[in-house]
Structure 1
Amino acid sequence: MTSEEKNWKSDGVRIIPGDSLDQNTPQSPGMTRAAAINHARVGAQKIWAGTVRIEPNAKTGPHHHGSLESVIYVIRGRARMRWGEHLEYTAEAGPGDFIYIPPYVPHQEINALTQDPLECVIVRSDQEAVVVNLDIEAVEKPEAVAWIDPIHRSN
């Protein structure tokens, strides 16, 4: 189909109102995921995007997303991320921070605040709604890891 044959009105830009997200998506204990962008809703072929909300002082169950890469953007609250075979590593992110989760990494999201919900936007590298919930015995004191990328190292 050429661009002249496309109906840009129906096949162009889509606006998904924030109050019409779809919670009919795989969930992990402790969080509520809602899809905004996927194939069923807008015809997306290569990405999935949505929101996640974690109540105050709550945490998700350990899980991973198979071969998918995930990006989390923190809107409100304080995200404490734990990851590793025994969730032995931890780091925190706040509003405006991005979190990258590589494929197959066991992880757990924790709302580090006791009064306010944690609200984030999530983007994944594929349409497949992969959530593999894990039964992991977590270590008691995880090792803190600073958020430092290879391009912008701290002094």
Structure 2
Amino acid sequence: MPHDHLHDHDHSHDHSHDHAHEGDAPKWKYDGVRVIKGDQLDSNTAQTPGMFRQAAINHARVGAQKIWAGTVAIAPDAKTGVHHHGPLESVIYVVSGHARLRWGDRLEFVAEAGPGDFIYVPPYVPHQEINADPSQVLQCVLVRSDNEAVVVNITDVDPVEPPENVYWVDPIHAAPKA
């Protein structure tokens, strides 16, 4: 029987990755998949009236390079000023409550979302985020496409729903100028 070179391989050697220094090897136990328990979110962020924001996934907590995720609780009737997030993409998942988003050059477009709905906000889209329920907190999960917060406030647009009762402000959403 002819010798089969395809099966003539020594399987006794170590299949681990070759690294120049053993200290350079990934420490998968610590650098691999991470589970952030819901009761272990980081509220050590600037907190302002109308909104409570907690980080789950960010650079400081898990070493994330290109994404931020966390929870947001928005007070009843809270509204942001008109703004956009530069090149960032945002996804909002509504856990409970009633969200309204307005967008466009004059905020002429509107969409509403409830529990179980996802909202996608593309880069550079002028928009306003609104808790459309005057009596219930809006609970959401927020995911951004970068760790760096980018907010460009737009002051030359008269929003259809001016922020007049409670400002939805946080470290990335400033209160509109009076």
Fold similarity call, TM over 0.5: yes
Please point out which of 110, 116, 124 is paired with 1:96: 116
What secondary structure is seen at the aligned counterpart in 2 of 1:41? helix
Q: Deviations over 1:36-92 (max 9, x none)?
A: 211121111121111222111221222211101111110000101111122111110
Please point out which of 118, 133, 137 is paired with 2:158: 137
Specify the structure having the higher radius of gyration (Cα). Answer: 2
Under a length normalisation based on structure 2, what TM-score does the superposition of the two structures give? 0.68
Please point out which of 30, 41, 48 is paired with 1:10: 30
Aligned equivalent of 2:81: 61
Q: State yes or no: 1:119 paired with 2:139.
A: yes
Q: Stretches of 4+ moved more than 3 A in 1?
A: 27-33
CA contact (8 A) 1:28 1:61 kept: no
CA contact (8 A) 1:83 1:107 kept: yes
Whole-angstrom CA distance in 1 between matches of 2:42 and 2:140: 14
Structure 1 residue 14 displacement after superposition = 1.9
Under a length normalisation based on structure 1, what TM-score does the superposition of the two structures give? 0.77
Kindly provide the amino acid, as one letter, of the partner of residue 61 in structure 1. Answer: G
Aligned residues: 138
Identity %: 67
What secondary structure is seen at the aligned counterpart in 2 of 1:50? strand
What secondary structure is seen at the aligned counterpart in 2 of 1:105? coil
Whole-angstrom CA distance in 2 between matches of 1:73 and 1:28: 21
CA contact (8 A) 1:63 1:133 kept: yes
Structure 1 residue 28 displacement after superposition = 9.1
Structure 1 residue 10 displacement after superposition = 1.4
C-alpha RMSD of the superposition: 2.4
Whole-angstrom CA distance in 1 between matches of 2:44 and 2:150: 15
- Residues 61 and 18 (structure 1), Cα distance of their counterparts in 2 relative to 1, 3 Å cut: farther
Whole-angstrom CA distance in 1 between matches of 2:56 and 2:76: 23
What secondary structure is seen at the aligned counterpart in 1 of 2:30? helix
Kindly provide the amino acid, as one letter, of the partner of residue 98 in structure 1. Answer: F
What secondary structure is seen at the aligned counterpart in 1 of 2:128? strand
Q: State yes or no: 1:46 paired with 2:66.
A: yes
Kindly provide the amino acid, as one letter, of the partner of residue 58 in structure 1. Answer: A
